[in-house]
Amino acid sequence: MEELVLAGANENILYKNKPHIGTDILREVVKNIRIKIEALGGTFRFNTCLTDIKVKDDKLVQIQVNNNEWINADICILALGHSARDTFNMLYNSNLNMEQKPFSMGMRIEHLQSWIDKAQYGENFAKNEKLEPADYKLVYNCKNGKTVYSFCMCPGGEVIAASSEQGHIVTNGMSKYNRDNKNANSALLINVSTDDFGSNNPLAGIELQKKYEKLAFELGGSNYDAPIQKLDDFFNNTETTILGEVHPTYAPNTKYTNLRKYLPENIAEAFEEAIYAFDQKIENFGNKDAILTGFETRSSSPVRLIRDDNYESNIKGIYPAGEGAGYAGGIMSSAVDGIVIAEKIIMANKMYDNE
């Protein structure tokens, strides 16, 4: 956290219960961290993709980048994101051990921030300038065994495009430092077990993600507009034709649809049951004018790259790390995982001063 402050984040992240840098500030923070790493001898290679590995006697000896350059390497920390699907395929074909991992999918839900403020602070304090925009964290265990929960709640934020492939729509959310936009949003997710994958292939969860990402692209008009549905229409299983008080923040644009029509009925029923339950805790959570945007598919990785007690894969020298590898659930846990792996490598290779 102190490194983030040194790189430009507000020092209040050192003591706040829910530290918030802000997407607008984070861009500068990341740049400053890069500059510091370069000053310490590190090198960043932009537009460079890991495309192959060379293994001898179960040990890494080389990595290939951009399909044409081989680099001698006996250690590789695979801190890949959970959208690095080309890399997952390459590693699978290279016989790196991996397994299916349960994950979650769902939609973004948007409310007026003023509704959330009133529900959390009460009418007398909802507009108090000394109070930050209110947030929430909700979870509900449904009658059919599914669990629905809120994730990555963004007060005064916006729903954003997060697709990494052509012909796919993926939603995410963000808040700038001031969190002063009109809407609040969060992911509304449901657990997806490996039994739902429909295959024993380790990469089957990725195919399930792709199914709904392609569907969202088609429902949006195949032009990267996102499909949306008013909550009242979701409950009634009808296509949205007009908006109410809440207007979507997703850019470039949105298209009215019936998201519920394309969900398995047990999933749709679980979402409806959970939203009614959440409305009992947060007034107006189930407001008929709330907006659902589809689909949120990449909250966590659907695959885990298997590693041993030394954090090493079955291919010696390869260390899977972080969220994409299936060992973390966010920024801080990924950072901790990276630190532990660095320590493991230092100890294993005696890269330290005995004094």
Answer whether residue 354 shows pLDDT above 80.
Answer: no
What mean pLDDT comes out for the span 110-129? 97
Please tell me whether residues 130 and 83 are part of one structural domain.
no
The whole-chain average pLDDT of the chain stands at 97
Answer whether residue 52 shows pLDDT above 80.
Answer: yes
Please tell me whether residues 111 and 177 are part of one structural domain.
yes
Residue 274 lies in a domain: yes
- What is the pTM (predicted TM-score) of this model? 0.94
Answer whether residue 42 shows pLDDT above 60.
Answer: yes
For the stretch 209-225, what's the b/e string if a residue is b when 16 or more beta carbons lie within 10 angstroms of its beta carbon? Answer: beebbebbbebbeeebb
Please tell me whether residues 198 and 143 are part of one structural domain.
yes
**How far is Cα 303 from Cα 82, in angstroms, rounded to an integer?**
8
Please tell me whether residues 179 and 58 are part of one structural domain.
no
What mean pLDDT comes out for the span 104-110? 98
Considering its fold, how many domains does the chain have in total? 2
By DSSP bridging, strand 158-161 and strand 171-174 are antiparallel
Please tell me whether residues 55 and 149 are part of one structural domain.
no
Please tell me whether residues 238 and 125 are part of one structural domain.
yes
Q: What percent of the chain has pLDDT over 90?
A: 95
Please tell me whether residues 258 and 145 are part of one structural domain.
yes
Residue 291 lies in a domain: yes
Which residues, in sequence order, are CB contacts of 318 under 8 Å at separation 6+?
Answer: 53, 60, 76, 78, 96, 312
| Nearest to 202, CA basis, from 288, 315, 89 | 89
Answer whether residue 91 shows pLDDT above 60.
Answer: yes
Q: What percent of the chain has pLDDT over 70?
A: 99
Give the pLDDT score at 349: 84
Give the pLDDT score at 331: 87
Answer whether residue 355 shows pLDDT above 60.
Answer: no
When pLDDT is cut at 50, 70 and 90, the band that residue 121 belongs to is very high
Residue 263 lies in a domain: yes
Residue 77 lies in a domain: yes
Residue 231 lies in a domain: yes
Please tell me whether residues 160 and 202 are part of one structural domain.
yes
For tokens 């350059």, name the residue. Answer: 69
Give the pLDDT score at 163: 94
Please tell me whether residues 123 and 258 are part of one structural domain.
yes
When pLDDT is cut at 50, 70 and 90, the band that residue 352 belongs to is low
Q: CATH number, domain at 91?
A: 3.50.50.60
Coil, helix or strand at residue 266: helix
Residue 141 lies in a domain: yes
- Residues 299-344: pLDDT tens digits? 999 999 999 999 999 999 999 999 999 999 888 899 999 999 999 9
By DSSP bridging, strand 254-256 and strand 226-230 are parallel
Please tell me whether residues 249 and 309 are part of one structural domain.
no
Please tell me whether residues 188 and 271 are part of one structural domain.
yes
Q: Which among 255, 275, 296 is the end of a domain?
A: 296
Please tell me whether residues 91 and 200 are part of one structural domain.
no
Check: CB of residue 257 under 8 Å from CB of residue 239.
Answer: yes
Q: Which domain holds residue 51?
A: 45-99+304-348
Q: What is the dihedral of CA 310, 311, 317, 323, to 10 degrees?
A: -170
